[in-house]
């Protein structure tokens, strides 16, 4: 299918072959994490050599090249983004673009472990919203699922982020036999603190120690179970991501469903993902990618980078092909921590 030509005067917009405008860039600033969540990575992970990573200055330059081409929202992810050394220098530089009007929003996805240290600085840099990954309110189960996580530290981090004035959304991966029965109480807890919540289906990415067929919880079933206890009203609320939202009448709060397996969100996809090595993935669930590091380092101006971005967007697929099977083979070989959550 030929690339759709944008209207005259809008040549720098990123329009993919299916007419979707790309306005949202997710940037994994590191593949490293201080947790080892069982559905995300193996306990004994081999991370990228530090020499392979883009510098923070190079990441800033790439982000600004995307802004030049119409990206209005940036989300920094990992791994755990706040374990990257000197990460606040990048966050401050990107946050300053909100003041210039080139960027609408800068957000982070984090496990919460570093927020007691960074919450005030993040708010001062222009971050107004955080997604915090949390799969249980039971400290023992939290240790089981994260392997290395400190539950009390994460709870203190949530307190610090709210005290700093940032809006929080809790991201929970629905896992059969682990937290499916706990989600109603997590929902009440999150809404009771003024936080939205999103439940996510586990995705077949990377080799892990667990069997994904044992973990997999279709969110269609979860929604049906929740409707026995709550009144769910579909609402058109959007944050720019793939979640479909409902309002819970009993709590007054919002609950999102991210369903890459049972009901994919590809038709409205407005985002691409950049890794800490400068690899651009046009789709989370496909292996096709573009190298932006080589053109970035080949010239001091951004002409080659912009050409590489354009070429990559011209290859953005219609959607992903996730499947979970009993062979426990990942649909995508790379771990989620490489691409960015």
pLDDT-derived band at 7, boundaries 50, 70, 90? very low
Q: How many CB atoms lie within 10 A of CB 231?
A: 12
Q: What pLDDT is attached to residue 322?
A: 46
Judge whether 336 is annotated as a binding position: no
What is the Cα–Cα distance from 112 to 207, expressed in whole angstroms?
Answer: 25
151 annotated to bind ligand: no
Q: Is 141 annotated as a binding residue?
A: no
> Is 273 annotated to bind ligand?
yes
Concatenate the DSSP letters of all residues of 73-89 into one string.
EEEEESS-GGGSTTHHH
CA angle 18-267-74, nearest 5°?
90
Query: Binding residue per annotation — 176?
Result: no
Distance CA 152, CA 185 (A): 18
Whether the model pTM is above 0.95: no
Burial of 249: CB neighbours in 10 Å, binned 0-12, 13-18, 19+:
exposed
Instruction: For residue range 95-117, list pLDDT tens digits in order.
Output: 999 999 999 999 999 999 999 99
- Domains of the chain (ranges; CATH) run 24-339 (3.20.20.70)
28 is in an annotated binding site: no
Q: Is the pLDDT of residue 43 over 70?
A: yes
Q: Is 63 a known ligand-binding residue?
A: no
DSSP secondary structure string for all residues of 135-193: --S-HHHHHHHHSS--HHHHHHHHHHHHHTT-EEEEEEEEBTTTTTTTHHHHHHHHHHT
pLDDT in tens, 196-217: 999 998 865 445 455 555 678 8
The DSSP element (H or E) to which 64 belongs, if any, is helix 56-68
**What is residue 314's predicted lDDT score, i.e. its pLDDT?**
94
- Burial of residue 101, with CB atoms counted within 10 A of its CB: 0-12 exposed, 13-18 middle, 19 or more buried: exposed
Residues 101, 341, 35, 48, CA torsion sign: negative
On whether the CB atoms of residues 111 and 79 are closer than 8 A, the answer is: no
Instruction: Tell me which residue of 219, 229, 127 sits closest to 188, measured CA to CA.
Output: 229
The reply, when asked if residue 29 is annotated as ligand binding, is no
When mean pLDDT is compared across 111-115, 133-137, 172-176, the lowest value belongs to 172-176
Token digits of residue 142: 């939290």
pLDDT band at 287 (very low <50, low <70, confident <90, very high): confident
Terminus-to-terminus CA distance in the chain, angstroms?
Answer: 29
Q: Across the chain, what does the average pLDDT equal? A: 88
Nearest alpha carbon to residue 186 among 171, 167, 176:
171
pLDDT 10s digits, 81-90: 999 999 999 9
DSSP secondary structure code for residue 206 in this structure: S
252 is an annotated ligand-binding site residue: no
On whether 271 is known to bind a ligand per the annotation, the reply is yes
26 among the known binding-site residues? yes
24 is in an annotated binding site: no
Can you give the pLDDT at residue 340?
56
Q: Please tell me whether 334 is known to bind a ligand.
A: no
Reading the block at residue 125, the tokens are 């840099």
């Amino acid at each position: 299918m030929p690339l759709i030509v944008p209207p005259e005067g809008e040549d720098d917009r990123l329009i993919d072959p299916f007419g979707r405008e790309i306005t949202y860039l997710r940037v994994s600033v590191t593949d490293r994490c201080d947790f080892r969540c069982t559905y995300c990575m193996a306990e004994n992970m081999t991370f990228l050599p530090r020499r392979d990573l883009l510098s923070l200055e190079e990441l800033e330059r790439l982000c600004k090249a995307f802004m030049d081409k119409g990206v209005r929202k940036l989300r920094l992810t990992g791994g755990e983004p706040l374990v990257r050394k000197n990460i606040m220098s990048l966050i401050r530089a990107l946050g300053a673009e909100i003041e210039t009007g080139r960027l609408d929003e800068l957000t982070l996805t984090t496990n919460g472990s570093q927020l007691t240290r960074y919450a005030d600085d993040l708010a001062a840099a222009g971050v107004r919203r955080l997604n915090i990954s949390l799969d249980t309110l039971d400290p023992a189960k939290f240790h089981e699922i994260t392997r290395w996580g400190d539950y009390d530290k994460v709870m203190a981090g949530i307190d610090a982020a709210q005290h700093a004035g940032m809006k929080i959304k809790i991201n929970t991966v629905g896992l059969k036999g682990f937290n499916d029965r706990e989600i109603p109480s997590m929902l009440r807890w999150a809404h009771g603190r003024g936080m939205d919540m999103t439940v996510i289906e586990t995705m077949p990415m990377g080799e892990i120690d667990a069997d994904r067929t044992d973990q997999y919880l279709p969110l269609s079933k979860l929604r049906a179970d929740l409707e026995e206890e709550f009144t769910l009203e579909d609402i058109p609320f959007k944050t720019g991501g793939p979640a479909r939202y409902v309002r819970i009448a009993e709590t007054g709060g919002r609950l999102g469903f991210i369903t890459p397996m049972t009901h994919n969100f590809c038709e409205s996809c407005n985002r691409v993902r950049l890794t800490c090595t400068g690899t651009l993935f046009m789709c989370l669930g496909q292996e096709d990618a573009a190298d932006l590091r080589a053109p970035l380092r080949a010239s001091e101006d951004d002409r080659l980078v912009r050409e590489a971005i354009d070429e990559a967007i011209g290859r953005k697929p219609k959607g992903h092909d996730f499947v979970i099977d009993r062979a426990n083979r990942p649909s995508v070989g790379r771990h989620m921590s490489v691409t960015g959550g």
